[in-house]
A = this chain, B = another copy of it.
């Protein structure tokens, strides 16, 4: 069995292997500071008694689950702390496919490449629904693709790679379609903290036992390497997900969970607002420079990414490697996100050098 392995790590590896200065815009790795309380939590943990170094509860430190439940307005029993949003999505998709209500997984095109990879690995069948040029998903298209064979509809808002933010109306409709076909809506909201539009709506806002919400602290606390995420399940679906989590990972990393809990408790809203503001500034700087360079580009309503298109220069892996070598800018090939964006490149705004990057690209394409 061959899976489709997402290319992120491969591109990052290439970018760090070449013998020149490269502006790394490959992956959604924040370059800004984590909260001080995150660092403090980890330092504090390092000095705790040995008992604190042993297995946390399999589904996560209870205080962390309570903190999440309170923030999200759900029962603590619905919360499973996972190894990042990656495991949360894996558990959610496995849960949907195990219900024996069909094998189809409806995904968007463009798509975050881990979703089709997980679908294949879990024995499901991918069904792609195209979004519009701005990445908006029309629920009518999802309904047209849905059937008795639909196990899950997997969406991501704010969206990677398009930057789209789905409206409350769209989210309501998606939940309704999941209910109609006894499927599950899996709503990956890992960029919820980076909604730049004010229009973000969580799937939790729609009361239903046909939706699973996944999230992580990777982006909001700037700690993709800590691997602390969570999934919120309908009460009747949580038990088996918990079992799978235990059988796959036993438990998550306790130092990571401890540090995250401290950060959640001690970090002021100002921290989050500052990072959103930083992102807004970078979106402006990068898109302004792309505009001057005469490129086509997207303006994200949320998340970290700008897609750009240069005339006669398709978004292939080969071209991405060439841009690393020749321009010193590393992005991701549009083809990695599905058939609809093969002409595009995706750039993550996780460097203070976004303007310089756009200028380098402009120079390359003059």
Contact = CB atoms under 8 A, between A and B. Distances in A.
Interface of A: 1-3, 5-6, 9, 13, 27, 29-34, 39-40, 42-43, 45-47, 50-58, 83-84, 86-87, 90, 98, 114, 117-118, 121, 222-227, 240, 242-244, 246-256, 259
A60 B276 CA distance: 30
A254 B226 contact: yes
21 contacts: A3-B244, A5-B247, A9-B58, A27-B55, A29-B54, A32-B50, A34-B50, A39-B47, A43-B47, A54-B224, A55-B224, A83-B249, A83-B252, A84-B251, A86-B250, A87-B250, A117-B243, A121-B243, A225-B255, A226-B254, A255-B255
Nearest to A115: B247
A90 B246 CA distance: 11
A225 B249 CA distance: 11
A246 B6 contact: yes
Nearest to A118: B247
Nearest to A42: B46
Contact of A121 (B51, B54, B244, B256): B244
Given A46-B43, A225-B254, A249 B84 contact: yes
Contacts of A224: 53-55
A117 B247 CA distance: 7
A241 B37 CA distance: 36
A150 to B, nearest CB: 19
A325 to B, nearest CB: 21
B29 A248 contact: no
Nearest to A82: B249
Contacts of A250: 83-84, 86-87, 114, 227
Nearest to A40: B46
Copies of this chain, whole number:
2
Contacts of A252: 83, 227, 253
B30 A54 contact: yes
Contacts of A52: 225
A144 B246 CA distance: 32
Nearest to A99: B1
B5 A34 contact: no
A29 B55 contact: yes
A58 B2 CA distance: 18
Residue from A1, A33, A45, A57 whose CB has the most chain B CB atoms within 10 Å: A1
Contacts of A57: 9, 13
Nearest to A227: B253
Contacts of A43: 43, 46-47
B51 A31 contact: yes
Contact of A227 (B13, B39, B42, B249): B249
A36 B15 CA distance: 36
A213 B43 CA distance: 33
Contact of A240 (B2, B32, B246): B2
Given A43-B46, A50-B34, A255 B226 contact: yes
